[in-house]
Amino acid sequence: MLQAYTNVVLFLMFIFLLIPNTYAQNKTIETSGDIFLFALPAAAFGTTLILKDKEGSWQFTKAFLVNEAVTFGLKIALNKPRPYNNGDNAFPSGHTSTTFQSASFIHRRYGFKYSIPVYIAAGFTAFSRINAQKHDGWDILAGAVVGIGSTYLFTTPYQQEHLELTMNSTNGNYLLGFVYKF
């Protein structure tokens, strides 16, 4: 099921990158970054639902809420102007923090190989914010750090929750091993 999700993300990225008109392409880059802002968290949370991973759903929710609170708290507290006078509250990038939180959740919870296309989409979203002249490199970097950091506060690897270290003793002999729980 994660393979199908991966294929969808790659297909969407391929479509958005092939538009030939330069002006349309710039606008499409920004729009696709906006789409990934909603698609990546939905895909990450949807993955937990498909896998019936209730613990993962709760971990994603906690990380998502902390990420949004820290991101918007910093935006309001610092009120950094956007490049080219495109507004205020630039630091950190909210698009970047949200998409990197989703990508790092997939990475941390389900493994690196499943997170590769999601990290690509998150990186593309960060690029789209610079391309749209909404953020500079520091805004993007801070957004990625906040997003990834919030995930690492709450998310545990999926497989390790199903493994248990056991120790048995019989007749003075000790046996140490792992038991997989279904």
How does pLDDT run along the chain (182 residues), one tens digit per residue? 555 555 555 555 555 555 444 444 578 888 988 899 999 999 999 999 999 999 999 999 999 999 999 999 999 999 999 888 888 888 999 999 999 999 999 999 999 988 999 999 999 999 999 998 889 889 999 999 999 999 999 999 986 545 454 556 666 665 544 444 54
For 12-33, b/e burial (b = at least 16 CB within 10 A) is bbeebeeeeeeeeeeebbbebb
Q: Round to whole Å and give the CA distance between 99 and 33.
A: 9
| CB neighbour burial string for 82-119, b if at least 16 within 10 angstroms, e if fewer | beeeeeebbbbbbbbbbbbbbbbbbbbbbeeebbbbbb
Alpha carbon distances (Å) from 108 to 89, 111, 114, 155, 172: 29, 6, 10, 7, 39
State how far the Cα of 15 lies from the Cα of 13, in Å rounded to an integer.
5
CATH assignment of 2-180? 1.20.144
Q: What is the pTM of this model?
A: 0.74
Every domain of the chain and the residues it spans: 2-180
d(CA 94, CA 115): 20
